[in-house]
Amino acid sequence: MKKPSASPANQNALHERAPGSGAMVPTEATGNAGETHQQIAHDGDHSSGTDHLTDNFGHRIADNQNSLKAGERGPTLIEDLILREKIFHFDHERIPERIVHARGSAAHGVFEVTKAIPGLTKAALFQKKGNTCPVFTRFSTVAGGAGSVDTPRDVRGFAVKFYTEAGNWDLVGNNIPVFFIQDAIKFPDLVHAVKMEADRGFPQAASAHDTFWDFIGLMPESMHMIMWAMSDRTIPRTLRNIEGFGVHTFRLVNAKGEGKFVKFHWKPVLGLESTTWDEAVKIAGADPDFHRRDLFEAIDSGNFPAWDLGIQVFDEEFAAAQPYDVLDATKLIPEELVPVEIIGRMTLNRNVDNFFAETEQVAFMPTNIVPGIDFSNDPLLQGRLFSYLDTQKSRLGTTNFHQIPINAPKCPFHNFQRDGMMQTLVPTGRANYEPNSLADAGETGGPRECPETGFSSFTENAERNDPTEKVRVRAELFGDHYSQARMFFLSLTENEQAHLASALVFELSKVVIEPVRTRVLSRLRNIDENLAQRVADGLAMDVPAKAKAKREPVDLGTSDALSIQKQALKTLQGRTVGILYDEGSDKAAIDQLMAAIEADGGRVKLVAPKVGPIKVKGGTLKADGQLAGTPSVMFDAVAALLMPDRAAMLAKDAGAVQWFADAYAHCKTIAACGGTREHLLPKANVEIDAGVPKFEDFMKVGAVRHWDREPKVRDLA
Ligand code: HDE
């Protein structure tokens, strides 16, 4: 528990009573993340500032180790208030996990506007360059439970809560710009299909099973998203290396009431990077919390991850001219057609103080929107507008979940909603209805509507058909299920295409019901004949007849923005290099390489057969990780400096040999000294190539992946 600070900011509760009104007013919104932190951490923190252990009602506890018994060896007494309260509270510590996105990691930060866009939106935040607001961002996997691993093949959630002075704005997106389905009414089916199968309770956090692919094969609209899901996008290296997308088409509305369509993008400053599948699987075993730990350690060490917020803005005319419907969440707008304009930067600079209070209790809702931003009629988005508010009641147990510090806005909020379970605010006066004339009688009348500045829905809506007609249909243009799936596949590098084909083979190989595989194969033919053939070959199946497409796919060309490898950054920033050493290694050479890597923004972890201090040339060195527990999959690149006799000994150790074999197979840089080259690399079948420099030449090569090596280590056919 933190000691309270004497600063005045700290003594302010997050929500104080406004003088002379029944309204609740939070302390001022501030761009200073540190200040906000204190407010959140200490609001309602009644136990701060004392070393005395008490129960929840403030009574000091004399003995917290022994329950109260009738005699030394007798039964425990029901009178034991300390035992009962402690166990009672413990019994109820868990809340329902999120039905999707249960596993997540989050951090606080700040968002700064780098380009004002008042012509496009009246949103207060975007009126001036330099405006800032605190943010809270949660990344997640979708299918697995809260305790599942960090690196399954899965979509990543990318949810950002902006605490703006005009209220909270939640941009609840994913790391993929499109979605599996077009209409929210299909969401429960999708989630039931992908989660562990109902009768057997497995597989956990995996889409490689019958029910998922059965659903997918029957839902051709999912084919574009399937290309993304089977690509390297779903096995990111770190959460700091993923893009984020708002997915749906939203609206920006300016002060004149003019509206434009908008798509939101987050671009990682560290660039995009993914693992190979083999690497992701091995990381899951070596460190199930790999992404959570990485995010935590990066922030903890002051290497704050950042993303640029970009927008693609377009009008009704552009929308009408596209061969797809911009309201269809299975479609993206190629960046080559509408460039992404960067308008701000988010920097995550503070870890949570308490995982449950913040990461678990945070409640994101697409309905948290501010004047100047509005929804479109995307039928997937429309369903989400209901779902998120609804689910919080089941998860957090009360309609007052907005009062939990992480969810409360940092601007004033006042209305006539009252009472309910776990009400923590104390509104004064009797004005709890409107209209009222209590102010005329000298009493507090409470807040009033704000027609000028309040949220009002954008009405000039060309998408609306005849509002009197009630229909359950899909708009005609939603029927093209393959054109963009093909565009995505053709935009990838050869290696990426091979990874995608292998992912499909892997997933479908886990499907037991044969016709399910056949159906998926028949759909792949509409995307790319060669892809269908490769997957069929991988499964030793015949290519089935082509599935009939609702609308014949059209050729949309390619887009480099869809490929990870085409955008890869040659940088050490945010990358971690593992240096292997052992007794007698040259400390000065290791120190020199460490300094060079760190000077370029990289991080070094020392690995040795033993973690305790080891005698090396020039002193002692203490490792960050033991070789057996720190496989090379933990690093972006590796280096080894070993005395020849130690290298010869390690060559007899399967774990050490695997360290190099994996780094090689995962196309990483291996900077190796003479001893390593002589004894270890041959055992690991490492061939010297441009990615295997001498130890002292590491900096010339850096932590890039050497994809041209891949055909030597993996069948890419
Ligand atoms: Fe979600 N989604 N979703 N989703 N979603 C939830 O809300 C839902 C969809 C996304 O870190 C739930 O608080 C429906 C698209 C993220 O806390 C739930 C539909 C996108 C998170 C829910 C979708 C998302 C959620 C579960 C189809 C990308 C995690 C717990 C109409 C744009 C937020 C919760 C966090 C969470 C419903 C589809 C992103 C049940 C009905 C599309 C990042 O309300």
Which residue's alpha carbon is nearest to atom 14 within ligand 1? Answer: 384
Span 99-148, pLDDT tens digits: 999 999 999 999 999 999 999 999 999 999 999 999 999 999 999 999 99
Query: What is the whole-number distance in angstroms between the Cα of residue 100 and the centre of ligand 1?
Result: 7
Within this chain, domains 52-93 and 104-403 share the same CATH topology: no
First-to-last C-alpha distance (Å) of the chain? 57
Sorted by where each begins, the domain ranges of the chain are 1-50, 52-93, 104-403, 481-565, 572-713
pLDDT at res. 464:
57
Q: Residue 439: what are its φ and ψ, rounded to 5°? A: -65, -35
* Inter-helix orientation angle 654-665/277-286, to 10°: 140
User: Is the domain 481-565 a CATH 3.20.20.150 member?
Assistant: no
CATH architecture of the domain with residue range 52-93:
Irregular (4.10)
Query: What is the whole-number distance in angstroms between the Cα of residue 135 and the centre of ligand 1?
Result: 18
User: What atom of ligand 1 comes closest to residue 158's alpha carbon?
Assistant: 43
Query: pLDDT class for 28, splitting at 50, 70, 90?
Result: very low
pLDDT at 406 over 70: yes
Residue 524: CB partners within 8 Å, gap ≥ 6? 504, 531, 532, 535
The count of other CB atoms within 10 Å of the CB of residue 126 is: 24
* C-beta of residue 512 within 8 angstroms of C-beta of residue 584: no
pLDDT at res. 26:
40
Range scoring the smallest mean pLDDT among 134-138, 194-198, 451-455: 451-455
Which residue's alpha carbon is nearest to atom 18 within ligand 1? Answer: 388
- Collect contacts of 394-400 with beta carbons under 8 A, ≥24 apart: 394/96, 395/95, 395/96, 395/97, 395/98, 395/363, 396/95, 396/361, 396/363, 397/95, 397/421, 397/422, 398/422, 400/424
Is the shortest distance between the CB of 401 and ligand 1 below 6 Å? no
Is the shortest distance between the CB of 146 and ligand 1 below 6 Å? no
pLDDT at 460 over 80: no
Q: Rounded to whole angstroms, how far apart are CA atoms 157 and 139? A: 5
HEC per residue, 637-705: EEEEECCHHHHHHHCCCHHHHHHHHHHHHCCCCEEECHHHHHHHHHHCCCCCCCCCCEHHHHHHHCCCC
Q: For a ligand 1 pocket test, name from 95, 97, 99, 101 the mutation site with the most ligand atoms within 8 angstroms of its C-beta.
A: 101
User: What atom of ligand 1 comes closest to residue 383's alpha carbon?
Assistant: 31
Residue entry with tokens 């009688």 = 441
Is the shortest distance between the CB of 100 and ligand 1 below 6 Å? yes
Is the shortest distance between the CB of 157 and ligand 1 below 6 Å? yes
Query: pLDDT class for 465, splitting at 50, 70, 90?
Result: low
What superfamily would CATH give domain 572-713? Class I glutamine amidotransferase (GATase) domain (3.40.50.880)
User: What atom of ligand 1 comes closest to residue 391's alpha carbon?
Assistant: 44
pLDDT at 10 over 50: no
CATH number (3.90.1150.10, 3.40.190.290, 3.40.50.300, 2.40.180.10) of 104-403 reads: 2.40.180.10
* C-beta of residue 690 within 8 angstroms of C-beta of residue 697: no
E-strand stretches of 150-284: 156-164, 167-174, 244-245, 250-253, 259-268
Report pTM. Answer: 0.92
Query: pLDDT class for 19, splitting at 50, 70, 90?
Result: very low
* C-beta of residue 271 within 8 angstroms of C-beta of residue 326: no
The reply to whether 175 belongs to the active site is no
The reply to whether 59 belongs to the active site is no
Span 311-334, pLDDT tens digits: 999 999 999 999 999 999 999 999
Residue 77: CB partners within 8 Å, gap ≥ 6? 68, 69, 70
Which residue's alpha carbon is nearest to atom 27 within ligand 1? Answer: 184
Span 356-382, pLDDT tens digits: 999 999 999 999 999 999 999 999 999
